[in-house]
Structure 1
Amino acid sequence: MKILIVSDTHRKDDNLKKVIEKTSPLDMLIHLGDAEGSETKIAGWIGEDCDLEMVLGNNDFFSNLDREKELKIGEYRVLLTHGHYYNVSLGVERLEQEARDRRLDIVMYGHTHRPFYEVRGGVTILNPGSLSYPRQDGRKPSFMIMELDDQGKAHFTLNFLEPQYN
C-alpha cells in the first residue's frame, strides 16, 4: 500500500499536481489541512482506486471537512489533524499525549509548514511540511510517502521537490 501525505497547499496546487503525477499510482492521499477550497479539484486529480482523506485546517474557512479523523491503515490506528488545536507550533507534546490517551499508533499533522518525523515511545508523529509555503531551512516544498510492506509494516520517507527555474 502506498500513501501520499501532504499538507498546507493553500490553493497553490501546481506542486501537488506534480507530486501526484510523480508518485502515482497511489492507494491513498492524505491531506492534513489548509487546502483552502481545492478539495474537489484534488479528488479529481487522483485515480478512482485512490482513497482521499482530508481534514480541516485553520485557513479552511468555508469547508465542511472534519476537524480531525481517526482511521485504520493496515494494522495501525492513525489520527489525522491539522494540529493547530494541539498548539503544534510550540511542540508535539500535547499531540503525543493525545495519541497515548486514544491508544493510537501514528499521528499526522500539518500547520507548521516544517517536516517532522519522530517515534516517541512507540507513537509515530509526523508532519509532511508544506508543498506551497515551506518554512524549514532551505525552504524546499516537501511531502511524505507511507508504504506498507508485505508484512504490513509501515515505512515513511520524506521527499522534497526541487525548485523549477524557467
Structure 2
Amino acid sequence: MKILIVSDTHGRDEKLEAAVAVEQPFDYLIHCGDVEGREFFIEALAECPCTIVAGNNDFFSDLPREDEIVLEGHKIMVTHGHNYGVSMDLYGISEEVAARECEMVCFGHTHKPVIEKKNGVLVINPGSLSFPRQEGRQPSYAVMELHEGEEPEVEIRFL
C-alpha cells in the first residue's frame, strides 16, 4: 500500500497538486493539518481514502484534532503535533503514541521534515509543501510503503 503524507499546505494547493500528480497512483492520503478549509478539495484531489486532521490554523473546523488508523495491520496516530510540543522535541509525542500502543505517528506543525525512531515509535513529519522551514526550504512530503507483517518504508521527497 502506497501512502502519501502531507502537512501544512495552508490553503495553497499548487504544490499539493504537483505532489499528487508526481506520486499517483497511491492508495491513501494522510494530511497532518493546517488545511485551512481545503479538506473537501484535498479529498477530491486524492481520489482515494483520506485521513485529515485539524491543525492550529484550522479555526472553526469540524476536522478531528487527531485520529488513530490501522493500515495493513499497522496502527498509526495522526495529529498536527502542536499539542505535544513538537517544536521543542519529539519526546512528548512519542510518549503519547507509545501509550496508545501505536507504532508510528504522522504529524506536522514545524514545517521541517523528520523520519526517526523515538522511544520505539516511528515519528514522521513530512514537512510543508507551502511554507518549508528546513535548510534549503524545499517543499516536502513523505511517501510510505506499508505491507502487512513488514517494516514500513518511509521516504521524504522534495518538489
Asked if these proteins are the same fold (TM beyond 0.5), I'd say yes
2:103: which partner in 1? 105
- Rounded to whole Å, the distance in 2 between the matches of 1:145 and 1:156 is 6
Which ranges of structure 2 fall in alignment gaps of 5 or more residues?
Answer: none
Q: Which runs of structure 2 are paired with 1:1-166 in the superposition (5 Å)?
A: 1-47=1-47, 50-149=48-147, 152-161=150-159
- Rounded to whole Å, the distance in 2 between the matches of 1:98 and 1:151 is 23
- Rounded to whole Å, the distance in 2 between the matches of 1:53 and 1:104 is 16
Is the CA contact (8 Å cut-off) linking 2:91 and 2:118 kept in structure 1?
no
- Rounded to whole Å, the distance in 1 between the matches of 2:69 and 2:117 is 19
Is the CA contact (8 Å cut-off) linking 2:76 and 2:103 kept in structure 1?
yes
Output the aligned Cα RMSD.
1.2
User: Normalized against structure 2, the TM-score is what?
Assistant: 0.96
- Rounded to whole Å, the distance in 2 between the matches of 1:87 and 1:121 is 16
Is the CA contact (8 Å cut-off) linking 1:37 and 1:62 kept in structure 2?
no
- Rounded to whole Å, the distance in 2 between the matches of 1:149 and 1:107 is 17
- State the percentage of identical aligned residues: 45
Q: How many residues align?
A: 159
Instruction: Give the drift of 1:150.
Output: 7.2
User: Normalized against structure 1, the TM-score is what?
Assistant: 0.92
Q: Hey, which bits of structure 1, 4+ residues long, moved more than 3 A?
A: 149-153
Which ranges of structure 1 fall in alignment gaps of 5 or more residues?
Answer: 162-166
Decide which structure has the larger Cα Rg and report it: 1
